Structure 1
Amino acid sequence: MCLSTEVARLENPDIRAAFQSGLDWMERFVMKPHPHLGRKGAVCPFVHPAHEGKRLYFCAIDCREMCFELFLEVMMAVPALFGRIAEQLTTRRDLLSLCIFPINLPVANYYKFVDCAHSILKPIYMVAGLMIGEFHPLSTATGAHSEGIRPLRADVPFFAARSMAVHDKLFIDRASGSVGQRIHELECYLRWTRSSLSLEDIARCTARIDELKHQLIGDEDHADAAV
């Protein structure tokens, strides 16, 4: 593991190449505005301050001969690692970001080791107060504000974990998720951001959770009646 500002010093050529490719893409795309983003500012406002503030860490997992189950087991340990790093920081813990690069991952496995893994890991990371993003060259995910941008289409595959923030409401409670998943995400969001939310936002979030729970009960009753 190393800081994003120390990538050039790494001795392992495979890890250095993956980290440098990821960093180059971040500097070229993520840290800058985009005409199709749908809002002002950088594609991700977190990355540049984290990089410049020495709060952006990179680590690698060699997936050359790793099975999917073992990969998930390793990724499950990331929230604890994130917590240990955070404990060592005395300032700007809010900027801490950890990027995990699955090096030597065949292109044919991107869908499983990145996209599917993200679907499995996100609910677990959110319990720990973390958001996790998934990036790879074949990503088809569109932006939260515009379908004219592919913000997760990176030059190399990697995951990015950081502490949950108020604006993460954009990335949860989406129509594509199940009702149960959306309730879980909102409950985690409210737990970890409550101190930064206004009373009105807390009330809206609580009301939305109650609404979804009633919807879930209604769907279950409908399913029982159908049987």
Structure 2
Amino acid sequence: MLIHPTRPAHPLVEPADFAADRLPGPVAAHEEALRAVHRWSREYLCEPHPDLGRRGDVCPYTGTSLQKNVFFLSVHPGRPTDPAELADLLLHYRDWFAELEPTSGPAAQFKTILVLFPDLGGDGGFDVVDRTQEMLKVEYADHGLMLGEFHPGPPDKEGLWNPRFRPLSSPVALLGMRHMVPTDFPFVRGDDVTLAVYLRLFGERVPTHLRREVQAAADRLATSGS
């Protein structure tokens, strides 16, 4: 478990912590939620799904993040209703994310932080997670980060390869951040602002199988801005 030097009340649980019979004392009260999300990460995100619409794991990123021990979870109790409240909270994690080791090398691009909100429930309680992600996605993209929303609702976003599939369903409401990577183009192509950030970061490093689509998107963006 990692403790922030100035905000010890919000520790990060590491993958190795889940090998113990009990999680460390500071997060023991939230053991059920933390273990549920850790199990979901391994058994859902790291596995194929018949409704996904493509081959491979639901999230190609998570397995390596777990293996490299850079997949971190944190918990916040309570039922926030204002996206601004969650935005202020996530600022701490965004800044800590940049400082967390490794900050360079192959493993650095796989760092992930999931912030859990186990007290949020249905009847509109998950809406604050969706609204927070929508409010912050451009700001986080500008820092080279992807911010994703997950909850049992599930979120309304359709699967990229199967519109009937809702891939962002999770057992506990959470917001997750990770580095934007060159293969993220399908997630940003529908939003011109985040697309512009993607082109700035990866314009020269686009995967071969995406080059034609990315060039078409770049041309469209250039034309619309002229």
Please state which band the TM-score falls in when normalised by the shorter chain: 0.7 to 0.9
Deviation digits for residues 91-145 of structure 1 (CA, Å, limit 9, x no counterpart): 5101111111123224335333211111001111101000111110011332111
Displacement of 1:70 in angstroms is 2.1
Displacement of 1:89 in angstroms is 5.8
Deviation digits for residues 152-172 of structure 1 (CA, Å, limit 9, x no counterpart): 111111112111111211112
Which one is further off, 50-59 or 85-94? Answer: 85-94
1:141 counterpart SS class: coil
Match of 1:14 among 16, 29, 32: 29
Determine the C-alpha separation between the residues in 2 that align with 1:68 and 1:186. 23
> Structure 2 vs 1, CA of residues 172 and 3 (structure 1 numbering), >3 Å: closer, same or farther?
same
**TM-score, reference length from structure 2:** 0.81
Determine the C-alpha separation between the residues in 2 that align with 1:78 and 1:208. 34
Is this contact kept in 2: 1:183–1:213, CA < 8 A? no
Whether 2:174 is the aligned partner of 1:162: answer: no
Aligned letter for 2:115? I
Q: Which residue of 2 aligns with 1:100?
A: 115
Larger of the two Rg values belongs to structure: 1
Displacement of 1:22 in angstroms is 0.6
2:146 counterpart SS class: strand
**TM-score, reference length from structure 1:** 0.80
Displacement of 1:210 in angstroms is 1.1
1:197 counterpart SS class: coil
Structure 2's unaligned 5+ residue stretches are 1-11
Displacement of 1:71 in angstroms is 2.1
Alignment RMSD (CA, Å): 2.4
Match of 1:51 among 58, 66, 69: 66
Aligned letter for 1:211? T
Which structure shows the bigger proportion of residues in helix conformation? Answer: 1
Deviation digits for residues 29-57 of structure 1 (CA, Å, limit 9, x no counterpart): 11101112111110001111111110101
Is this contact kept in 1: 2:183–2:207, CA < 8 A? no
1:187 counterpart SS class: helix
Displacement of 1:187 in angstroms is 1.1
Aligned letter for 2:17? E
2:120 counterpart SS class: coil
Determine the C-alpha separation between the residues in 2 that align with 1:15 and 1:155. 14
> Structure 2 vs 1, CA of residues 208 and 109 (structure 1 numbering), >3 Å: closer, same or farther?
same
Whether 2:21 is the aligned partner of 1:5: answer: no
Determine the C-alpha separation between the residues in 2 that align with 1:195 and 1:55. 27
What does 1:62-211 correspond to in 2, within 5 Å?
62-64=77-79, 68-86=83-101, 91-139=106-154, 140-174=156-190, 182-197=191-206, 203-211=215-223
Displacement of 1:81 in angstroms is 1.6
Structure 1's unaligned 5+ residue stretches are 175-181, 215-227
* Identity across matched positions, percent: 20
